[in-house]
Amino acid sequence: MKNSIVMKLALVFIVSLMLYACSSHAPLMQVASPDGKTVLTFDLAENGAPTYSVEKNGKAVLKPSALGFMEANRELMHGFKVKNVLQQSHNDTWETVWGEERYIVDNHNEMKVRLLHEDGIRMDVVFRVFDDGFAFRYEFPEGRKKMTILDEYTSYCFAEEPQVWSIPWRTEYYEGLWEKKALSQLDTVCSPITLEMADGTYAFVHEAALTNFPAENFYADKQTLHTHLTPWRNENGDMDEKAYITTPFSTPWRFVILAPTLRELVASRIMLNLNEPCKIEDTSWIHPMKFIGIWWGMHQKSMTWEAGPKHGATTKNMKKYLQFAHDHGIGGVLAEGWNLGWETWENFDFTTPYPDWDMDAISAYADELGVAIVGHNETGGNAADYENDLDKIYAYHQQHHIQNIKTGYVSPIVRTNDGLQWNKGQSGVRHYRKVIETAAKYHICIDNHEPVMPTGLQRTWPNLLTQEGVRGQEWNAWSQDGGNPCEHVTVLPFTRIMAGPVDYTPGVFNFANPIIPGTRVHATLMNQLGLFVCFYSPLQMACDLPENYMLHPDAFRFVEEVPCDWEKSILLDGRIGDFVVFARQDRNSDNWYVGGITDEESREQTVRLDFLEANRKYIATIYRDKNTADWETNPYAYEIETREVTAADTVSLRMAAGGGFAISLAATEAE
């Protein structure tokens, strides 16, 4: 059946080329997914306007949708002719340096449509169709041409109106609560978006390999989604200009995942496959790990970033944290507020500590204990000064054996070498890329806060371990709106985390904050354990204070044990905004881990263990809410059970309101 479909498509393509030879109007050109179920069609209208459309299982997903640009000197949305069409197939499997699984299959069919504009400009559109979706990008192949992009006309004209999960496009640092609306009701929103389709299937729309171009956003017109590029700014605000490019140039990929179920949606690896292979030859210095930090106390106002009587990042305090990490098998310790500049949030000095921080002594003590230091470089939005001193800063950190740095850009508009710009505009995107590449030269990994939305660059530069770009746990420490609602964490695995690893900072064990009354975590303790499995990050922070972890040492054992680098990952069950259940296999053992979280509704959950190896026994340690648990009235009520299980077994349990669970499955010797 599959071969017959491919042969039919090849025949259609040959006939189309014959028709094109005797017609001024370009023929329909098609490329299908390897399984033949998804077909993308390219067409040119009579006026030379390029469009594409998509069918899946014989049903229209996207009706003819626009392609092209508005350039400063011409409209690149009509006036084209097809020069020729190239097609090829690709099928291989590659190994990740770290990730949600070790091996990823890249199997797609490609069609490159080479276009010539009436003004003589060459523009190619490259389409790739996978079994689980499609992607395309624009290429301007001719050299030494400078172009100013004013608008991108890429659109997605849906055959039926979907419901869309999104956040507004000017949400600071992407730290917003995701909301579901009908497509026609959207204002301008950030990429990515997650769609619940009218037929009960799912889609995810985003971009991949964003390196030297503004981040995309979307706005809606009835059932059509349009692209809105993040603009450049000048002293008067936003400009018409979106991007300045010099050819040859390739835009980021625009891609859409199409999946019949949520399990298949989150399993898609289209975004990573669209990025270039790893550019770091020796990756042995890149180590996924869990870490704790001198951090939560600042957000709860029991410590300060700046020097003073409550200063958090002191030599004495850091040594205490390092010792705790060593004693409990935690890989690293973050310290914020160790360097000069915090009093004014200006002129941060990334190589000069406060007097109560002895970098040499701390570095030596960390080496002695075998615990990594996670450095912190907060720029206050002054990306320009930071970028200009990168080599000096990273050489200093390398000298002190610091191989992980958390960067920060707390300012709604960052100061780049191009002036005040949106962090996700072209200038900001260039800055973040330079930071990653420079860090790699010094064997330093990056945890980027206040970032541009991830687009899969970790495949090319795996020292980009994780990023924020989310309304994270810190909001539960001080937000006057009461913190993150229970639903929030059940939305993120299907929205923000689809774009890449997230530094959400799970693991709060003491929900009360007497310094800021009215704030609290909307979760049970077991929910916080479940986050370590449901939220993926290869650099995973357990954010609470050491003394709070010792309030519940039995529960903390799961935090000590759970890894953050995986061989396989499976969504077992879930609904967007309601609940999530993930199973993941440790990359360095045969052990599995399961985590579940729910919204404000309590749920009875049955976990089938058929993902385990057959004919093998496992010791299951089950951490779950007690029947009396409730996020608001009784968040610390939990119980721990240990029993022997096999792949034929199930585990039934109750998730409390705002609750969750965690299960470790330790493999015994194979029979």
Q: Which residues are catalytic?
A: 474
Residues 589, 543: Cα–Cα separation, whole Å: 26
Is 271 in a helix, a strand, or coil? helix
Q: Among 559, 501, 98, which Cα is nearest to 285's?
A: 98
Q: State the first-to-last Cα distance of the chain, in angstroms, to the nearest integer.
A: 40
CA distances from 351 to 22, 354, 399 (A): 69, 10, 11
* Two structure tokens written together for 83: 């020069």
CA distances from 569 to 231, 236, 266, 651 (A): 37, 48, 10, 18
Is 442 in a helix, a strand, or coil? coil
Residues 12, 19: Cα–Cα separation, whole Å: 10
Specify which residues 374 forms β-bridges with.
334, 404
Answer whether 314's CB lies under 8 Å from 321's CB: no
* Amino acid (1-letter code) at residue 557: R
Specify which residues 252 forms β-bridges with.
none
Answer whether 606's CB lies under 8 Å from 540's CB: no
Q: Among 648, 266, 293, 233, which Cα is nearest to 423's?
A: 233
- CA Rg, the chain, in Å? 26
Q: Which residue has the tokens 């007097």?
A: 355
Residues 357, 339: Cα–Cα separation, whole Å: 8
* Cis-peptide, bond into residue 162, ω within 30° of zero: no
Answer whether 479's CB lies under 8 Å from 295's CB: no
Residues 638, 123: Cα–Cα separation, whole Å: 60
Answer whether 360's CB lies under 8 Å from 396's CB: no
DSSP annotation of 499 reads G
* Two structure tokens written together for 98: 């770290």
- Give the CA angle between residues 230, 231, 236 to the nearest 5°: 140
Long-range contact list for 363-369, CB < 8 A, 24+ apart?
A: 363/400, 363/401, 363/402, 365/319, 365/322, 366/322, 366/333, 366/401, 367/401, 369/322, 369/323, 369/325, 369/326
Residues with Cβ < 8 Å from 15, sequence gap 6 or more?
A: none
Is 290 in a helix, a strand, or coil? strand
Residues 467, 455: Cα–Cα separation, whole Å: 11
Answer whether 608's CB lies under 8 Å from 509's CB: no
* Two structure tokens written together for 150: 């004013």
* Two structure tokens written together for 38: 């998804």
DSSP annotation of 184 reads G
CA distances from 460 to 76, 98, 112, 272, 453 (A): 31, 12, 23, 9, 16
